Amino acid sequence: MRRRTAGMSLLEILISVFLVAVFALSMAALMPAAARMRAKAEHYNKATNVGQIMLERIRTLDYAQLTYTLMYQQGLVQNLVTQESARFVAGFNALSLPGGVTVTLSDYLPSGTGTIEVINVSSDLRSIIVTTSWSDRGITRNVTLSTIVARLN
């Protein structure tokens, strides 16, 4: 008696369907994790952009303008957090963009806030540290960028 070899048996079809189902379910399980990672990367990108824009705006100021009062008048900061003899920390929750557009950080990032720290390193040198913070599923995340500004005579 000869066995028929053409076609597939029911067992082979069931195994194939099982393997395809396992693969499809494992891919479906990865989708929420991929969406979370994409959102996290987007928040880091937005926070870095805010920090870069703020640093660029600060670098347009003269050395003598790097005081809380003058930065407040320029609209760079909204509130004073701490002030000591050689440093101050000021907060910002809005960012003015070129063209007169103002972005509120909490609209741009979840619970978004920012701080600018100005440290007098020496009589002719100031360190500027910009930190942008936001809340990511109950965890506070932040991006910190810094630069140094010198007095040029």
pLDDT digits (tens, 9 = 90+) for 88-132: 999 999 987 777 888 899 988 999 999 999 999 998 999 999 999
Tell me what pLDDT residue 116 has.
Answer: 97
Tell me what pLDDT residue 32 has.
Answer: 87
Enumerate residue ranges in the chain where pLDDT < 70.
1-7
- How high does pLDDT run on average in the chain? 89
Whether 40 contacts 136, CB under 8 Å: yes
Tell me what pLDDT residue 153 has.
Answer: 74
Task: Determine the Cα–Cα distance for residues 140 and 28; give it in Å rounded to an integer.
Answer: 29
Structure tokens at 130: 């910009």
- Find, among 150, 146, 70, 148, the residue nearest to 115 by Cα: 146
34 burial via Cβ count (<10 Å: 0-12, 13-18, 19+): exposed
pTM of the predicted protein model: 0.79
For residue 150, give every residue at least 6 positions away whose Cβ sits within 8 Å of its Cβ, in sequence order, or none. 63, 124, 125, 126
Tell me what pLDDT residue 3 has.
Answer: 63
Structure tokens at 137: 């599923």
Name residue 104's beta-bridge partners: 94
Task: Determine the Cα–Cα distance for residues 90 and 82; give it in Å rounded to an integer.
Answer: 7
Tell me what pLDDT residue 123 has.
Answer: 87
Tell me what pLDDT residue 4 has.
Answer: 61
For residue 15, give every residue at least 6 positions away whose Cβ sits within 8 Å of its Cβ, in sequence order, or none. none
